[in-house]
Amino acid sequence: MQGASESARPAPVGRPRNSQIDEAVLCATIEVLEETGYHRFALEQVARRAGTTKPTIYRRWPTRQHLVLAALAGRLGQLPVPDTSCTICDLAECLSVFAAAFQRLPPDVLGSLLSDCADNPDLRAEFMNSLFDPPRRAVEQTLLRAIRRGDLRSDLDLDLTLDQLGSLVHYRALFRHAQTTDAEIERAVENMLCGIATDYPALVEHNRRLSAEAQAHAHHIDG
């Protein structure tokens, strides 16, 4: 005989969400975006490729914008935060990871998607939360560690610095007019650190010393 608490438990309503369908739809969304771009993106193509239906997709994502945002966020993935105790190395690596992540996204999507979300405050917030805030938080952690080490000025404007560091990546990710090379990232970090470092020459020397140690270690292993 069932106890009172067990008999009073409500029966589950509906079927549980199928994660395999979710994954199939998100993968199909990326494939269709890569083939058609955002303007010609159609849910019918996604449903057919994922082996499901439009109503099934709409039960998971209320609009095509929500679906595309979820798919792009999945493609970006979790961005690693480097921590080598070398501020120059960490910032350059952060921006390289940042740039590489956006280069993995289908071309000609970000700008059109942002325009499509701009007039809806909730969608615009979702765009920022899904695509721009995660890499920004990774760079922010690197800056905060550098401040705690005393490498960067304690009075620097963190939000402004984040905008300046990210602007190169954001600009080229949106307009796709040029690649963001490692050399350009190094120059951007150098220009920034000249203004926000407590002792930029000391950071350069630390960077050179670590590089020399790494090369010597690699030579020792090869030998």
List, as one string, the DSSP characters of 71-110.
HHHHHH-PPP----S-HHHHHHHHHHHHHHHHHTSPTT-H
Residue numbers of the domain that contains 29: 17-60
Domain endpoint, select from 8, 26, 60: 60
Q: Is the Cβ–Cβ distance between 81 and 141 less than 8 Å?
A: yes
183: domain CATH number? Answer: 1.10.357.10
Residues in contact with 208: Cβ distance below 8 Å, sequence separation at least 6, in sequence order: none
Q: Are 37 and 140 in a shared domain?
A: no
41: domain CATH number? Answer: 1.10.10.60
Amino acid letter, residue 5: S
In a domain, 5, yes or no: no
Q: Are 55 and 89 in a shared domain?
A: no
Q: Are 99 and 51 in a shared domain?
A: no
In a domain, 72, yes or no: no
Q: Are 144 and 105 in a shared domain?
A: yes
In a domain, 153, yes or no: yes
Q: Are 215 and 122 in a shared domain?
A: yes
Q: Are 199 and 121 in a shared domain?
A: yes
In a domain, 1, yes or no: no
Task: Compare 106 and 47 and report the one with higher pLDDT.
Answer: 47
Residue 113 has phi, psi (to 5 degrees) of: -65, -40
Q: Kindly tell me if the per-residue pLDDT of 49 is higher than 60.
A: yes
Name the DSSP class of 223. Answer: -
Per-residue pLDDT at 79: 79
In a domain, 69, yes or no: no
pLDDT-based confidence at residue 13 (cuts at 50, 70, 90): very low
Q: Are 110 and 218 in a shared domain?
A: yes
Q: Is the Cβ–Cβ distance between 110 and 104 less than 8 Å?
A: no
Residues in contact with 132: Cβ distance below 8 Å, sequence separation at least 6, in sequence order: 166, 170
pLDDT-based confidence at residue 206 (cuts at 50, 70, 90): very high
Q: Are 192 and 92 in a shared domain?
A: yes
Per-residue pLDDT at 159: 93
Q: Is the pTM of the predicted complex or chain greater than 0.85?
A: no
Amino acid letter, residue 2: Q
Q: What is the number of domains present in the chain?
A: 2
